[in-house]
Amino acid sequence: MPWLGWAVRLPFRVLALLVADIEGEAHVLFACWLVLPRTMGIRQVHGLLTSMCGDAVGKLVQSMLSRITLPAAAAASVDSAAAPFRDKPGLYTVLKAAGVMPTMGTAKGVVLSQLDIGAKIHVLEVVHNEAERRVRARLEQPEGWISLLNMDTGARWAVHEADPAARAAAAQAAALPKQAGDIFANAAAAGCNPAALFQPPARGAPAAEVSSEEAWEAMALLESQLARADDSSEDAASRQAAG
């Protein structure tokens, strides 16, 4: 029965002809529906896509931004934490005995007074003395200059309250007995190594070189301490600590 197969295929062939004839017109009608001012179907399509995909796209963008910004922020925090603190005016805590001089330079200077460990001082000006490799500070009270840092050895006389290491260093300095702390601090300021007193002698070890500025500063501080020790106007405990 060949006519049966032809009857089955006939509807599909007619439908194919109709679809082929109206396909172009359907495209034109759809484009008009999208852009005509009356219909503006593109707005409906945009709203539908936004409601369906907005959350997913937003999460994707947020995830990409977090991957970019979080490592950058972490790197910036690490860099800021690793960066050394730079001295600036403000409140400082004295870590070891420091001599106050009338001039910014230390060469051939005289000590007007002495700052003890734990004293709070207000610094008005900070100068990096490259010639003597010292960071010098001008004080409000007592008036004069002290050394904050030896740029070559890293020895420090005072720390800023904003320095992250200030609390630990100040606590460590305060833990030492006052007289022992003064002795060890002054020895270190003069370029000596107090820890060597408790170590066996090393054979053939070269002596550490001390600059003329360090020697002058240490001698001026020693003269100030000797003058305090001989001053009968001070009490016995202060004279003993100064000597």
Question: In angstroms, rounded to a whole number, what is the distance separating the alpha carbons of residues 47 and 5?
Answer: 48
Which of 153, 150, 190, 170 minimizes the C-alpha distance to 92?
Answer: 170
8-53: pLDDT as tens digits: 565 556 556 655 555 566 656 666 666 666 776 666 766 666 676 6
Query: Domain boundaries in the chain?
Result: 8-68, 90-196+212-242
Which of 145, 127, 150, 156 minimizes the C-alpha distance to 208?
Answer: 150
Which of 94, 106, 102 minimizes the C-alpha distance to 135?
Answer: 106
Q: What is the mean pLDDT of residues 83-111?
A: 82
41-86: pLDDT as tens digits: 666 766 666 676 656 655 654 665 566 445 555 555 544 444 566 7
Question: In angstroms, rounded to a whole number, what is the distance separating the alpha carbons of residues 202 and 197?
Answer: 11
Question: In angstroms, rounded to a whole number, what is the distance separating the alpha carbons of residues 217 and 107?
Answer: 7
Tell me what pLDDT residue 145 has: 92
Q: Are 99 and 136 in contact (CB under 8 A)?
A: no
Q: And the tokens for 155? A: 């020895």
Tell me what pLDDT residue 103 has: 86
3-state DSSP call for residue 126? strand
Q: What is the pTM of this model?
A: 0.42
157-185: pLDDT as tens digits: 888 887 766 556 556 555 555 555 555 55
191-220: pLDDT as tens digits: 555 545 544 555 555 555 556 566 666 666
Q: Going by C-beta distance under 8 Å and a sequence separation of 6 or more, which residues neighbour residue 112?
A: 99, 100, 101, 102, 142, 144, 224
Tell me what pLDDT residue 81 has: 46
